[in-house]
Amino acid sequence: MFNNFRRIYVLPIALLVVVGIYFTPPVHSRLSWRLDEMRTRIVYFFKPPDEAVFQPEQQADFESVLATTRAEFAQTLTPVATVSPVGTTTPGPTPRPTITATPLPVTVKLEGVKYEDQHNRWNYCGPANFSMALTYWGWEGDRDVVGKAIKPSDKDKNVMPYELQDFVAENVPGMNTAMRYGGDIDTLKRLVAAGFPVVAEKGYYERDYAGKLGWMGHYQFVTGYDETKGVVIAQDTYLDGPNFALPYDEFNEGWRSFNYVFVVVYPAERESEVMTLLGPLADADAAARHALFVAQDESQRLSGIDRYFSYFNIGTSHVALRQYGDATYAYDYAFQLYNGLSGDNSIRPYRMMWYQTGPYFAYYYSNRFSDVINLATTTLEDTISEPVLEESLIWRGRAYYMAGDTQAAIKDYRAALKVHPNWPPAVQALQDLGVQP
């Protein structure tokens, strides 16, 4: 009887000890990602994420969308009249900041870069890259300081560019940021040559644990270039390490999937210098219009997955310009193209909505709440091993509320806070409903 009594109590105590050891920081940091990977393998085996598709309920006439896109693209080729401040009409484009004609160096490799990797952390390329962007200017923190503020949970799959901007604005006095769409190699070279490194968000392909090639998002910190070799020099926090040389064409190919977005971190007193270097992209709306032009052009020239990215970028550019109705047409067609991607030559980038939220803006502000809900549900339930995307959760919550389901909205807001504790948008959403987070 004593032995039976001992077994009854020893096993639960042993289990509690094991659980306690697992949750100690040194052990948890090393083992949690392995458990997540195991869970992901099991879920993806039974429900392959690249088989998930989203079908908008209020789809536009796609032939009309194509015709409209071609017409918009043709219109951008011709300068339009602009209205002057006194009301008179003058021909020609709106004046833009000029770029100095000083020849750029053939090769630039910025000194003073403190390399950081993302190893032994889960989905940490954002904090590591953003930390490097700050330490270059003398900031004394590191990736964990950034990560604890903008990625406090290992469950959080991605850090958005705006989260870096918020972190800098709230925590790093004397530093400013500029985020723009529509970047290109020449813009990177101008900035880097003047001593301003750039964080670019890009897509890339990697084989997973099953050997299957898949697309995912990734940041790279651009700190140089070599014109003689036609390469960008970047700090890669994941596979390629410091001072990684990437050919211009390959860099652009990955950059395309994020509408050529980039972020520059710089001392506040040097803002005018940065704006001059940005030239036509100094104004955020002008940059979005340029990105729209590029996306429209590429949508007519490219095929396969790159055509899908181009139409998605058309939508993203319209969202940046607050043209939500136009954005919905582009996203509708992009999702149709996505659904048609299959076979060995095209790989569905099922993680797209992990990193970009433009469709939520477009559908929500066009009163297409059912499409917001369906897109978020597809993303949360069919493309990821567990529903841990706070952006999808909060947008679905907003749409639920507008559709009259307040309780479902509250549930999603609280779920977002479990992924990203104290996340201001979710906290504010609950407070607006008079509910405690």
CA distances 397 to 340, 373, 400, 404, 406, Å, are 29, 8, 5, 11, 8
Cα 175 from Cα 281, distance rounded (Å)? 20
The amino acid that residue 422 corresponds to is: N
What's the pLDDT at 214? 84
* pLDDT tens profile 324-365: 999 999 999 999 999 999 754 458 899 999 999 999 999 999
Cα 119 from Cα 133, distance rounded (Å)? 18
DSSP state of 57: T
Cα 321 from Cα 292, distance rounded (Å)? 10
For 291, half-sphere exposure in the C-beta direction (CA atoms, 13 angstrom radius) is 34
- The residue behind tokens 């990955």 is 254
Query: At 19, is the pLDDT very low, low, confident or very high (cuts 50, 70, 90)?
Result: very low
For 145, half-sphere exposure in the C-beta direction (CA atoms, 13 angstrom radius) is 14
51-60, 217-226, 385-394: range with lowest mean pLDDT: 51-60
**For helices 406-419 and 390-402, angle between their N-to-C axes, nearest 10 degrees:** 170
Do residues 394 and 425 lie in contact, with contact meaning Cβ atoms separated by under 8 Å?
yes
- The residue behind tokens 């879920």 is 43
In this predicted structure, the answer to whether residue 321 has a pLDDT above a threshold of 80 is yes
3-state secondary structure 84-115: CCCCCEECCCCCCCCCCCCCCCCEEECCCCCC
Ramachandran bin of 81, using left for φ above 0, alpha for ψ from -120 to 50, beta for the remaining angles: beta
CA nearest neighbour of 169 among 144, 125, 134, 117: 134
What's the pLDDT at 346? 53
Handedness of CA 293, 296, 301, 304 (dihedral sign): positive
What's the pLDDT at 82? 29
Compare 47 and 182 and report the one with higher pLDDT: 182
Query: At 205, is the pLDDT very low, low, confident or very high (cuts 50, 70, 90)?
Result: confident
What's the pLDDT at 70? 55
- For 97-163, the DSSP string reads -----PPPPSEEE-S-------TTSSS-HHHHHHHHHHHTTT----HHHHHHHH--STT-----HHH
Q: Counting runs of H as helices and runs of E as strands, what totals does the chain give?
A: 18, 9
Q: Which residues are CB-contacts of 251 (< 8 A; sequence separation ≥ 6)? A: 185, 200, 202, 232, 234
The kind and range of the H/E element at 213 are strand 213-226
CB burial readout 388-424, b (16+ within 10 A) else e: bbbbbbbbbbbbbbeeebeebbbebbbbbbebbeebe
In this predicted structure, the answer to whether residue 38 has a pLDDT above a threshold of 80 is no
The amino acid that residue 298 corresponds to is: E
Domains of the chain, earliest start first: 2-46 (no CATH), 100-282 (3.90.70.10)
Compare 172 and 348 and report the one with higher pLDDT: 172
Instruction: State mean pLDDT over 197-207.
Output: 92
Instruction: State mean pLDDT over 45-66.
Output: 71
Cα 247 from Cα 232, distance rounded (Å)? 6
Compare 106 and 97 and report the one with higher pLDDT: 106
- For 345-357, the DSSP string reads T----TTHHHH--
* pLDDT tens profile 381-429: 999 989 999 999 999 999 999 999 999 999 999 999 999 999 999 999 9
Compare 342 and 318 and report the one with higher pLDDT: 318
What is the residue-averaged pLDDT of the chain? 85
In this predicted structure, the answer to whether residue 52 has a pLDDT above a threshold of 50 is yes
